[in-house]
Structure 1
Amino acid sequence: MFCRNNARLHGKVVIVTGGSAGIGYEAAKILAENGARVIIASRNETKMKEAKKRIVEATNNNNIDYRTIDLASLKSVRKFVNETLQLEERIDVLINNAGAVGLPDRLTEDGLNLTMQVNYFGAFLLTFLLLPMLKVSAPSRVIISTASAMFVGTADFDHWNDIGRYNAVKSLANSKLADAMFMVELDKRVRGTGITANGMDPFLVRNTDILNNVDTVVAEISRVFVNIVGRTRKEAGNEMAYLATSPELRGVSGRNFKFCHVIFNHWLTHDEKLRQKLWNLSKKLVRITTEEDWENRSRA
């Protein structure tokens, strides 16, 4: 199903994490076609260079850039943010698309579960640090990748970063539940600023590298299933670009989308106290400093 719009984006700046491949690349290409300055954010510089080249050739839009970010490293996220704030005059859209499944069950150098950090904590930090510029650039949008796996996730904050406790599916589920709760709480905290925050469940997408970290046998079986029932990368990328730019979604916030329609969110996203606990714990675990904490400054 396509839900593409032709909003003209000249003068707009869009960041797409995981934009060098898969649905992130497709979304970046569509946004470039519509005139946006697109910043591809990913770990692999070689892949980003190639993605930039292909997008420029396909769209004749030379205003494409790339910047290295490793969501498994809080230091890398902060470096990306600092470079972006120095080089860009505005940010109109932040698309938190990057994610992974089947990562090794280990802690990162920041003491966080690798899957949780790549799929949630890294995106939380990136978004939190960029919110002041998003506010200055308003009306602006934040898109957060969700997944139906969240419905088997648990909000056991005391154990989310444990090692040896969860299998690959459960780790993914916990991280995507965190993303869904984060999206709703973000909507509440930025309401009235001109920033909107929405989630997108891409469903199953064919021909992506999301299964590259999964056990070989399981991955092959999964790919067969995905190739039968999944959607194309272009379809999912179209939806992502649609949520990021469509005029008809102006002011729509705090919603979870799938196949271009609002769908129900996890029931725990309606628990305000639980969302607040997650937000405050996340700030603590990603070590938001006094200088970075725009929330405290706004209260002063």
Structure 2
Amino acid sequence: MYLLILLTGFAVVVMLSVLFAPYIRKYAAGGVCRSPARLDGKTVLITGGNAGIGKATAHDLAARGARVILACRAVEKGEAAAAEIRSKVAGAQVEVRELDLADTSSIRAFAQRFLKEVSHLHVLINNAGVMMCPYTKTADGFEMQLGVNHLGHFLLTYLLIGLLKRSAPSRVVVVSSLAHYFGWIRFHDLHSQGSYNSGLAYCQSKLANVLFVRELARRLQGSGVTVNAVHPGTVRSDLVRHSTFMSLLFSLFSFLLKTPEEGAQTSVYCAVSEELHSISGKYFSDCAPAFVAPQGRSEKTASRLWDVSCELLGIEWD
């Protein structure tokens, strides 16, 4: 009897899902960047632009006339993505540079070459990331998710901030996540050496993104450089490949997920929208301002994380 009820309930859910699929899909797609802004003569740098949201963002900005530089660890995949964009966008200017955010020596080498070869940088999109991976460390001994998602981008931004200021008005877009709601900065065990939970470590890194944006915006006041964080939504991508449970959920409910193109909309919005020319230190979702968790609004935590990050990276950033 219970089995019959269960099967009947499941059948009803499936039937309703099929019946309302077009409406569900439209809702799941989220906000759309409607700005017609062109980026002719502008230079954009996107980390991890070889797949998913990053590649979709690169495609959109290249179509607007920007010179788009993809900073990728997997150069071959980056070249394939660049070739695909060029095949779809006539005259697209897309280049690929090697960058491993899990190695500060790679980040410094990338920045050194970039500063020699590129005279302007108008948009920096800190897009690359890793999610819920097994416990591993970066080349510098940082917990991988914090090291790539936060510290790697922190150092990259630090090394390029002078160029961004000289190119002003310019923008920095940091891809964070709704996951920051569940994150806490564990200063007593920042690299999860005492205990490790891949999900909580991911949430901590995404909260770090939000706090970084808050503190950087404060420090950039009057510079002509704005910085904002975005939540792209729940997107069909290989980001969840390290979690069997998440991969299964994504497969079962794929109709509720955004495509990479839909997930890229808020990144594009923050990179080009005219109405955001002086907006900084905010968090956006579906191309609109979004709620930030209380722990993401703490100026004290943001300042402390900034100092700790500088110490870990061996830099001084006034």
- 1: distance between equivalents of 2:246 and 2:305? 32
Aligned pair 1:237/2:261, yes or no? Answer: no
Decide which structure has greater helix share. 2
- Partner AA of 2:94 in structure 1: I
Aligned counterpart in structure 2 of residue 266 of structure 1, from 293, 299, 313: 293
Aligned to 1:21: 51
Q: Structure 1 residues 13, 270: closer, same or farther in 2, change over 3 A?
A: same
What 5-or-longer segments of structure 1 have no aligned partner? 296-300
- Partner AA of 1:224 in structure 2: S
Q: Tell me if the contact between 1:92 and 1:137 (Cα under 8 Å) persists in the aligned partners.
A: yes
Aligned counterpart in structure 2 of residue 122 of structure 1, from 137, 146, 152: 152
- 2: distance between equivalents of 1:257 and 1:227? 23
- 2: distance between equivalents of 1:133 and 1:226? 43
Identify which range, 152-161 or 121-130, moves more after superposition. Answer: 152-161
Aligned counterpart in structure 2 of residue 250 of structure 1, from 270, 277, 284: 277
Aligned to 1:279: 306
Q: Tell me if the contact between 1:147 and 1:201 (Cα under 8 Å) persists in the aligned partners.
A: yes
Aligned counterpart in structure 2 of residue 143 of structure 1, from 153, 164, 173: 173
1:1-300 map, 5 Å: 1-163=31-193, 165-206=195-236, 208-214=237-243, 217-288=244-315, 293=316, 295=318
1:143-189 deviations in Å (ceiling 9; x for gaps):
01111111111122121212351211101000011111001101000
- Partner AA of 1:52 in structure 2: A
SS for the counterpart of 1:85 is helix
- Partner AA of 1:193 in structure 2: S
Runs of 4+ in 1 over 3 A off after TM superposition: none
TM-aligned CA deviation for residue 128 of structure 1: 1.2
- Partner AA of 1:218 in structure 2: F
- 2: distance between equivalents of 1:148 and 1:269? 11
SS for the counterpart of 1:197 is strand
Pick the structure with greater CA Rg. Answer: 2
Number of residue equivalences? 288
Taking structure 2 as the reference length, what is the TM-score of the superposition? Answer: 0.87
Q: Structure 1 residues 294, 150: closer, same or farther in 2, change over 3 A?
A: closer
- 1: distance between equivalents of 2:133 and 2:313? 20
Q: Tell me if the contact between 2:138 and 2:144 (Cα under 8 Å) persists in the aligned partners.
A: yes
- 2: distance between equivalents of 1:164 and 1:226? 35
Taking structure 1 as the reference length, what is the TM-score of the superposition? Answer: 0.92
TM-aligned CA deviation for residue 102 of structure 1: 2.2
What 5-or-longer segments of structure 2 have no aligned partner? 1-30
- 1: distance between equivalents of 2:178 and 2:161? 27
TM-aligned CA deviation for residue 205 of structure 1: 0.5
- Partner AA of 1:267 in structure 2: P
Q: Tell me if the contact between 2:125 and 2:173 (Cα under 8 Å) persists in the aligned partners.
A: yes
Aligned to 1:298: none
- Partner AA of 1:165 in structure 2: S
SS for the counterpart of 1:8 is coil
